[in-house]
């Protein structure tokens, strides 16, 4: 039995952390999830595709400018397992070209570290 938290559990823990530290980092109130992935019925998937859902779009967005970037996109993965898809790699590269900071985080703790670094203007970890 795999005891590693799911991507969804990691993400929920990250948002719980955000709630706890938003006094120190009020910008975290702007962090949101982009509901692009997940399992769906074919009819719902077709409707969402028609409405603009695109494969590879990162899971989270923090629309806060720092360090010359327009905002921070995060692709969340489980701490163990979870692969980056070809589409996710393309999106990350394009977002970087457009002036956004974009990263992949394995687990909520890595995401928390990346967010704090970004908010403090430390984007050297990105490259």
Q: How buried is residue 8: exposed, middle or buried, by Cβ count under 10 Å (0-12/13-18/19+)?
A: middle
Give the residues across from 72 on adjacent strands.
Answer: 62, 101
Determine contact, residues 79/13, Cβ cutoff 8 Å.
no
**What is the share, in percent, of the chain residues with pLDDT greater than 70?**
92
Query: Residue 9 pLDDT more than 70?
Result: yes
- pLDDT tens, 11-41? 999 999 999 999 999 999 999 999 876 666 7
Give the Cα separation of 88 and 104 in Å (integer): 9
Q: Which domains does the chain have, with CATH numbers?
A: 12-126 (3.40.1350.10)
CB atoms within 10 A of CB 44: 11
- Nearest alpha carbon to residue 72 among 16, 31, 21: 31
């Amino acid at each position: 039995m795999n005891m590693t938290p799911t991507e969804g559990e990691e993400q929920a823990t990250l948002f719980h952390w955000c709630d706890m530290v938003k006094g120190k980092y009020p910008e975290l109130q702007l962090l949101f999830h982009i509901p692009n992935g997940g399992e769906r019925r074919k009819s719902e998937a077709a409707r969402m595709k028609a409405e603009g859902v695109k494969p590879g779009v990162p899971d989270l967005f923090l629309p806060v400018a720092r360090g010359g970037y327009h905002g921070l996109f995060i692709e969340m993965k489980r701490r163990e397992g979870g692969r980056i898809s070809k589409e996710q790699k393309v999106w990350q590269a394009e977002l970087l070209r457009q002036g956004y900071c974009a990263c992949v985080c394995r687990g909520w703790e890595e995401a928390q570290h990346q967010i704090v670094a970004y908010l403090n203007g430390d984007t050297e970890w990105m490259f």
